[in-house]
Structure 1
Amino acid sequence: MISRLRGILLEKRTDYAVVDVGGVGYGLTIPISAFPHLPDLGKEVRLFTYTHVREDVLALFGFLEETDRKLFEHLITVNGVGPRLAVTILSGLPAPELLDAIRAGDGQRLQRIPGIGRKTGERIILELREKLGALEAPEKAAGTPGGAIDKEVVSALINLGCTPAAADKAVDLARRKGAPAEFEPLFRMALELVRS
C-alpha cells in the first residue's frame, strides 16, 4: 500500500494531481478543497495517500493532511459510501466542519453535499459518531511525547489489515497499559491487543 508520496508536482486540476516520484508519475484523485493549497507546478509536494484496489481498478487518492485521509478511510467504511463519494464529501465540507456535523447529528448540512441524501447522511452520522474519538486521537497525540510514534504504529497496524478505529483503540490501550514511546515495544503490545 502506498501511504505517502513526496515528489514534484507535474500536473494539477481541481480534483486531480500528478506527482513525480523518482521518475514515476503518480496520478491521484484529490478533494477539491485541497487544490488551492497545492504548490506551483515544478515544486515539491507531500501528500498522504490511500490506495484503493478492486479487481479491475487501482486508484490513488491524495490528501494534504493525515486527518483528511483518516476521515476518508472512515467514510468508506459506511455502507453506500465509496471512495468517489467520500472525496466528494471531503470536497463539500472541510474535515473540521464535517466532524462537527457528524458530532452534532446535523444531517441537513450533510445533505447539501451532492450525492448525499437523507438516508446516506443519517447512515454516516450513525456509523461514524462513535468513531469520532478515533478520528481526533492522532491529532491530540501528535502534540504529546511519542505522538509521532503512535501514528506510525497505527499506520503499521492498518497496513496489516486493522481498521483505523481498531488500530487507534489498540495503541491507546497499549499506552494506558504502560507501553513505552518507542516503536517496536508499542507495536508489539498493540498487535497483541488487536489479536486478543
Structure 2
Amino acid sequence: MIGRLTGTLISKQPPEIMIDVQGVGYEVQMPMTCLYELSDVGETVTVITHFVVREDAQLLYGFNTFAERSLFRQLIKAQGVGPKLALTIMSGMTAHQFVQAVTHDDVSSLIKLPGVGRKTAERLVVEMRDRLKQWGSATPATDAAPMDTSDLQPTLAASSPRDDALDALLALGYKPAQAEKAVAQAVKGNTSASSEELIRTALKNM
C-alpha cells in the first residue's frame, strides 16, 4: 500500500501529476481542488495517496490532506460511485463544500457535477450523512525535507493552457460541448491565464 509520496513535482497534466521519488516517477491523479494548491513544477511536494488495484491497471489518487483522502474513501464506498466519479465530485467542490452540501441536503449543488444525476445526488446525501458526522478538519501533509533537484529535468506540456484545461475537463467527465463552452468563456475573461486558472474558472462557470 502506498500511503504517501514525497518527491519532486516533474509534471502537471491536470488532473494528473508526476512525482519523482528517488528516480522513480509516480503518476498520480488529483482532484482539481487539491492540484490548485500544489507547488510549481521542480519543487518538492508531499501528497497523501490512495492506491487502487484493478485487473487492468494500478492507479494512485493524491490529496493534500488526510481528511481529503478520508472523504474520497467514503465516497467510493457509496453505491454507484467509483474513483473516477469521486475525483470529479472533489474537483467540482472542495471537501468542505461537499460536506456542507450533504449536511444541508443541498441536492441542487451536487447535480451540477458531471455524472451526478438527481437520483445519485439524493442517494449521496442519504448515504454520506452518517459517514460524515465524524469527518474532521483537514490535516496538512507533513513538510518534506529539501531534496537535491539539480539533476532533474522537469517536463512541461507543449500544448496550450486552453488545450490542457479542455483535456482536464474531459478527463473529469464533462461532455465535449460543455467543456468547450466553459473553457472558451474562461479564456475570454483572461487570455493570459494558466491552465490551472482556466480550469478553476471553467469549473466555477459550469
Same fold judged by TM-score > 0.5? yes
Structure-1 residue corresponding to 2:112 = 112
Q: What's the % identity of the aligned pairs? A: 40
Query: 1:141-194, CA deviations, whole angstroms, 9 ceiling, x for partnerless residues?
Result: x7xxxxxxxxxxxxxxxxxxxxxxxxxxxxxxxxxxxxxxxxxxxxxxxxxxxx
Unaligned runs of 5+ in 2: 140-206
CA distance in structure 2 between the partners assigned to 1:35 and 1:55 by the alignment? 27
Equivalent position SS for 2:48: strand
**Matched letter for residue 8 of structure 1:** T
> TM-score scaled by structure 1?
0.68
Equivalent position SS for 2:78: coil
Question: Which has a greater percent of helix?
Answer: 1
Unaligned runs of 5+ in 1: 143-196
- Is it true that 1:126 corresponds to 2:126 in the alignment? yes
Q: Structure 1: which 4+ aligned runs deviate by more than 6 Å?
A: none
Residue 133 of structure 1: CA displacement? 2.1
Q: Aligned ranges for residues 6-85 of structure 1 at < 5 Å?
A: 6-85=6-85
Q: Is the 8 A contact 1:107 1:118 kept in 2?
A: yes
**Matched letter for residue 36 of structure 1:** Y
Equivalent position SS for 1:116: coil
Query: 1:77-124, CA deviations, whole angstroms, 9 ceiling, x for partnerless residues?
Result: 001100000000000011111000001111111001111001110111
CA distance in structure 2 between the partners assigned to 1:134 and 1:82 by the alignment? 22
1 or 2 for the larger relative contact order (CA 8 Å, sep ≥6)?
Answer: 2
Structure-1 residue corresponding to 2:174 = none
Equivalent position SS for 1:17: strand
CA distance in structure 2 between the partners assigned to 1:98 and 1:64 by the alignment? 16
Residue 13 of structure 1: CA displacement? 2.1
> TM-score scaled by structure 2?
0.65
Instruction: Kindly tell me the number of residue pairs found equivalent between the two proteins.
Output: 140
Q: Is the 8 A contact 1:13 1:35 kept in 2?
A: no
